[in-house]
Structure 1
Amino acid sequence: MSSLVPYSINPKSRDVIPKSKVLVVGAGGIGCEVLKNLALSGFQDIEIIDLDTIDVSNLNRQFLFRKEHVGKPKAVVARESILATNPNVNIKAYHDSVLSSDYGVNFFKNFNLVINALDNRTARNHVNRMCLAADVPLIESGTSGYSGQVELIKKGVTPCYECLPKPPQKTYPGCTIRNTPSEPVHCIVWAKHLFNQLFGEDDPDQDVSPDSEDPEARVDGETSVTESGNIKRISTKQWVQDSNYDPQKLFNKFFHDDIKYLLSMENLWKSRTPPTPLLWEDAVSLTDGKTNGDGNDVRTVDMQVWSVAKCARVFADTIALLKNELAEKKFLLWDKDDKAAMDFVTACANLRSKVFNIVQKSRFEIKSIAGNIIPAIATANAMIAGLVVLYAFRVLVGEYKKCPSIYLRQKSIHSKLILVTDTRMLVANPHCYVCSPKPLVNVFVNVEKMLVKEFENDVLKKHLNMVAPDVVLDGKGVVVISSEEGETEANDNKTLSEMGILDGSILKCDDFLQNYELTVVVNMNDANEKDDPPFKIIANPEDLKAKEDKNGLQNGLPANGPENDDDDDDDLMIVDDEDISHDPQEGSSRKKRRLNTDSDDDIVEVPL
């Protein structure tokens, strides 16, 4: 590591800058700073993509926005603010998702440079792949508090964003979420699962009903439930869709009936404080010493903890709103910036906290936890954005080797400097399943139990970061998964073995949106059924070999694959984390033309 060398501008940059077309993905904390720097540095052709809208909490650091802009699209307002400063800039804004199938490789080929100012890993992975496919240099950046990083990603020159494994996502045992929450975050996760259960795609793993299979609920291998049998799984989604919908019925089911059932699992409460069931008629009159106002000011809505009565009313009101929205779509995706969705999670999380004697939180606090938002420092954003644009000067004239990764640290291990560079010229991981010449991974699964839909969602999309994959069983020509809606829907609930996918089978996976092909070798997984995730992904052939530990014992396979999709980046890839909301099914009827994907508009990713 060495200190940051003084910056010198190549004279060629002055000629290239006005002619270069730059795409900025994200118009948040870093994005605002980058856009300002670009506009004041002579760039004449800029496009912005961002899905987010402006929130009150953005105003302390995203200086292109004012109070009157709250609720408006970030990309649109950022464009207006930049033009007010420099009306000579040709700047175009897209309030949309960069993950949309309407925007392909040809769109990215229109740019000389792409700059990421994102806050989530899903979008970063996607832009990384699009830039590799389009062979366009990408400057990646991020901050978290007082720390930050800038790095260049260029095909054939540097590692890509997915070359190195990311830390695993922090998860919570399902039995804790369903049966024995002890922290506010447990109730918030439960509330998000409830949203998905009522309005989202069906996901058995996110069923919020009590789980009598909880190991702690057993005595000598037998369930401690005093009533006969397990709780009956009721389709609550049908209740919501019913024209005679009754919010009290749903309320009593989740906060009274299910809680009474949990109390029958006597073994759970031997060393814990048991929950207290809550009926609708009791909740609507319980102010609990907290705010019960219905004002629209920020302090009442966001900063104060709502009373139980207010939570009950919000529960009923938001379900009615979301029900109407659901009538126009197949399912809804939770978005922290959607008011009804965020109000629903706030109300449900606090009601469950009340039932389990857990401290309740304000809407602002719950949004921060539910959206994985890490506090941002305006100064850190400004420093990183400044470095991003300085690197842009070098990249545009091909000085890639003068763009080592730069790290912003509150304290440096080796010196008193806060900005340090990694002067080693890193090379791409030869086993990277994204940027290597022939990407290949070994996936270890139980082919007798894993369903095709689970393989698509959990393995291909969540862990291998595909958006709309097509999968063919090599040698047999069997189409297992198709990105065309409804084409392979009949396969969803079949096991892999029923589709002819056995130990040693080879799958050819192709994501036309990302122009990305991957070979997957399927291996039988002998892991315990309780393992999470119930599969392993290995890209490096060396990892397939058993290795000896310090005691000379044979170690098994790595616990997780090379990429664990998690919104929290490691300390070398730091970002303000927020979940991006997108619907990968929108626009799925696109034509499959790898070399002629005509994408006229672009979309945005939620920024810092």
Structure 2
Amino acid sequence: MALNGALGKQNVNTLNKCKILMVGAGGIGCELLKNLVLTGFTDIQLIDLDTIDVSNLNRQFLFRKEHVGKSKAQVAKESALKFNPNASIVAHHDSIFNSEFGVDFFKSFTVVLNALDNRAARNHVNRMCLAADIPLVESGTAGYLGQVNPIKKGLTECYECQPKPSAQKSFPGCTIRNTPSEPIHCVVWAKHLFNQLFGEEDPDEDVSPDTEDPELTADAGKSALDSEAKKDAIGGIERKSTRAWAVETGYNAEKLFNKLFRDDIKYLLSMETLWKERRPPQALDFHDLPGKDLQSASTRSTDVWTVQECGDHFTRCLTALKEDLAKRGEDGMLVWDKDDHHAMDFVTSVANIRAHIFGIPLKSGFEIKSMAGNIIPAIATTNAIIAGAIVLETLKILFGKIDKCKQVYLNRVPNDRKRLLVPCALDPPNPKCYVCSSKPECVARFNTSKITVKTLQDKILKGHLNMIAPDVEIDDGKGTILISSEEGETEDNEDKYLSDFGVVNNTRLKCDDFLQNYSLVVTVAHVEKLDGELEFEIVGDLSQCHPEEDGDSSAASGAPAAGKAADDEDDLIVMEDLELEDKEMEQSQGESVESRKRPAEDVESPAKSKRKAVAAAGDSEDLIEIS
């Protein structure tokens, strides 16, 4: 191969001898695997748990229509071997969390390359590479934005050295129930309605008008019950759960429609305080919907349905989902899935009907799927560019030039030096990191009389501190075991409070995760009550380390940002001179990088220092989650 000739005989031998572990075979992964075999890498192992979906085919070019439903890892292997039949590729259709892929497994590789789309897996691979002392090249894309981050224990920041933005964007319940003002508010309400009717009923997701809205007077709810709306309602406006209404009516489309979009709206209208400075909503009737006399012409996902079409889809989907629910048995429930035709159409129709009522622009099925399905549209070219940058940084590591490695950020528009790809010097490890520091420690604040052992395990250690199978011992000289990763050993402890075991203020908990070869000391700080009704708080968590990096509100729309917003550009400028010195690079970028930093609050990305643009770090399909 010409590229091998350009690399030189010694470097080609290095490629032939190295072993590559690649995690993920999605948008970035397909491009990366193709690049690896064409570059001359011959010993590759690939892990991916997913199967191929139709929606993958527009950008994951190793897959074809006939591959739908098959293992991504296996099909990617078969397709990549056509580029280089001499390569040895082992495909694992499995989870990276499987205990089979422990520290010894990671130690058998020269370098690990991440092409993942979720934070939990990234955290895990990061810890495994630290434990095995193996270089990791982290990467991610989101729309037109992307990044590549080489990571080496003791030399660079690890993936968890910097705080991550919240994985979810939430909205006040009173806004969702009473005063929506944006399409996303209606989409969230529609998803809540789906769960109330067909899924796991959650009181926090009740879609009925909220009489505890802080804007309302104390008597607002009572006066509403005596309003004109009660006279017009089918059966009167009696405050009961949405599920109860559905069951009583037998999921009758007309009665449910009028309850949700006529009676509840009139109930809201009676709360006059809400509408003093807002446009009041307009109630709808099932038999008198706008667009009734228009001929139906909406056939594509990019079309916007009329309100009448939304009503028709509501009726059709309600019937289909009711039948599906009945098949699940008495205690069965449905789980909303953006790829389920009826579930998606139900949310689209309901969200648009509610939007019309509140004077909010209606959206196409494609747009609502992007919001409801937590999707950032994927750009195939972005994946290709980032995959190429991964290989370049990997080659530096393999050829002993890790000091020449850069964090590479792909922006939407060129910087002052007319570059889309911006290299930045690698940052040293964060001494306060509770993952890669020499003595990982943190402080957990909570009421020891209200936190159970199960909460400690599931919400604090696994949920917040990203452990997989923790063992916890009280550092009291007695060696009291609170949690054991061995099944059945400490199940009796789960419902007991930590105070029952003598856990008090300043108690130290020794937490070990043998799968990750990771140990952490958690010091308990007992407090009677936390602000904001928090159940617990991690003090010394990395989000406390850089409070000034809140950025501005320009990313509030949910769109991730790595660079200054601008019109989409298709002309890409190839990165040159990666060996720019820090000083020269800062001079070349001036304020252009700092000024375009925005918090990628809905994206899997580490928050970087002010001199760097914050880039996305996820294979863009399933990044933004909306609670």
Task: Mark yes or no: TM-score above 0.5.
Answer: yes
C-alpha deviation, 1:80, in angstroms: 3.4
C-alpha deviation, 1:140, in angstroms: 0.8
In the alignment, what sits opposite 1:380?
Answer: 382
Aligned pair in 2 of structure 1 residues 110, 311: CA closer, same or farther (>3 Å)?
A: farther
After alignment, is 346-355 or 536-545 more displaced?
536-545
Q: Distance in 1 between matches of 2:490 and 2:240?
A: 27
Kept in 1, the 8 Å contact 2:103–2:128? The answer is yes
C-alpha deviation, 1:252, in angstroms: 6.6
Deviations 1:138-171 (A, max 9, x none): 1111233443221111223321111011234533
Q: Distance in 1 between matches of 2:490 and 2:190?
A: 32
Kept in 1, the 8 Å contact 2:377–2:621? The answer is no
Aligned pair in 2 of structure 1 residues 489, 44: CA closer, same or farther (>3 Å)?
A: same
After alignment, is 482-491 or 103-112 more displaced?
482-491
Question: Identity, % of aligned pairs?
Answer: 52
Q: Distance in 2 between matches of 1:284 and 1:86?
A: 60
Residue type of the partner of 2:274? Answer: L
Deviations 1:3-39 (A, max 9, x none): xxxx984754422323433232232332221111112
Q: Distance in 2 between matches of 1:420 and 1:341?
A: 42
Structure 1 stretches of 5 or more lacking a match? 1-6, 294-298, 548-562, 582-608
Residue type of the partner of 1:78? Answer: A
Q: Distance in 2 between matches of 1:196 and 1:470?
A: 35
In our comparison, the structure showing a higher alpha carbon Rg is: 2
In the alignment, what sits opposite 2:620?
Answer: 577
C-alpha deviation, 1:182, in angstroms: 1.6
SS at match of 1:226: helix
SS at match of 1:64: coil
C-alpha deviation, 1:529, in angstroms: 4.6
C-alpha deviation, 1:90, in angstroms: 3.2
C-alpha deviation, 1:50, in angstroms: 3.6
Instruction: Select the residue among 245, 255, 273 that pairs with 1:267.
Output: 273
Deviations 1:241-300 (A, max 9, x none): x9x974658767655665565455443333334445667x6499986858587xxxxx53
Q: Distance in 1 between matches of 2:242 and 2:492?
A: 22
SS at match of 1:128: helix
Residue type of the partner of 1:427? Answer: P
Q: What's the TM-score, normalizing by structure 1? A: 0.73
In the alignment, what sits opposite 1:175?
Answer: 174
In the alignment, what sits opposite 2:111?
Answer: 113
SS at match of 2:212: coil
The 5 A counterparts of 1:285-434 are 300=300, 304-305=304-305, 307-318=310-321, 320-321=323-324, 324=327, 335-337=337-339, 342-411=344-413, 413=415, 415-423=417-425, 425-434=426-435
SS at match of 2:169: coil
Kept in 1, the 8 Å contact 2:251–2:322? The answer is no
Aligned pair in 2 of structure 1 residues 10, 158: CA closer, same or farther (>3 Å)?
A: farther
The 5 A counterparts of 1:174-573 are 174-195=173-194, 205-219=204-218, 224-226=221-223, 234=241, 236=243, 246=251, 248=253, 259=265, 262-263=268-269, 265-275=271-281, 282=287, 300=300, 304-305=304-305, 307-318=310-321, 320-321=323-324, 324=327, 335-337=337-339, 342-411=344-413, 413=415, 415-423=417-425, 425-445=426-446, 458-469=459-470, 471=472, 473-475=474-476, 501-524=503-526, 529-530=531-532, 535-539=536-540, 566-569=602-605, 571-573=613-615
SS at match of 1:114: strand
Instruction: Select the residue among 130, 145, 148 that pairs with 1:147.
Output: 145
Aligned pair in 2 of structure 1 residues 579, 380: CA closer, same or farther (>3 Å)?
A: closer
Instruction: Select the residue among 21, 44, 47 that pairs with 2:45.
Output: 47
Residue type of the partner of 1:389? Answer: V
Aligned pair in 2 of structure 1 residues 471, 324: CA closer, same or farther (>3 Å)?
A: farther
C-alpha deviation, 1:125, in angstroms: 2.0
Q: Distance in 1 between matches of 2:496 and 2:275?
A: 39
Structure possessing the higher relative contact order (Cα contacts under 8 Å, 6 or more residues apart) = 1
Q: Distance in 2 between matches of 1:455 and 1:112?
A: 36
Residue type of the partner of 2:387? Answer: A
Aligned pair in 2 of structure 1 residues 579, 444: CA closer, same or farther (>3 Å)?
A: farther
Deviations 1:92-113 (A, max 9, x none): 4445544566754455445333
Residue type of the partner of 1:307? Answer: C
Q: Distance in 1 between matches of 2:356 and 2:449?
A: 42
Q: Distance in 2 between matches of 1:519 and 1:472?
A: 10
Instruction: Select the residue among 13, 21, 24 that pairs with 2:22.
Output: 24
Equivalent residue pairs, number: 548
After alignment, is 504-513 or 177-186 more displaced?
504-513
Deviations 1:326-359 (A, max 9, x none): 9899x87655445565445434433443454433
Kept in 2, the 8 Å contact 1:284–1:309? The answer is no
Q: RMSD value over aligned CA atoms?
A: 4.8
Residue type of the partner of 1:310? Answer: H
Deviations 1:341-399 (A, max 9, x none): 54454344334434544333223212222343333443332222112112223333554
In the alignment, what sits opposite 1:296?
Answer: none
Q: Distance in 2 between matches of 1:318 and 1:100?
A: 35
C-alpha deviation, 1:429, in angstroms: 1.0
Structure 2 stretches of 5 or more lacking a match? 227-236, 549-598, 608-612
Q: What's the TM-score, normalizing by structure 2? A: 0.71
Kept in 1, the 8 Å contact 2:251–2:318? The answer is no
Kept in 2, the 8 Å contact 1:319–1:344? The answer is no
After alignment, is 203-212 or 438-447 more displaced?
203-212
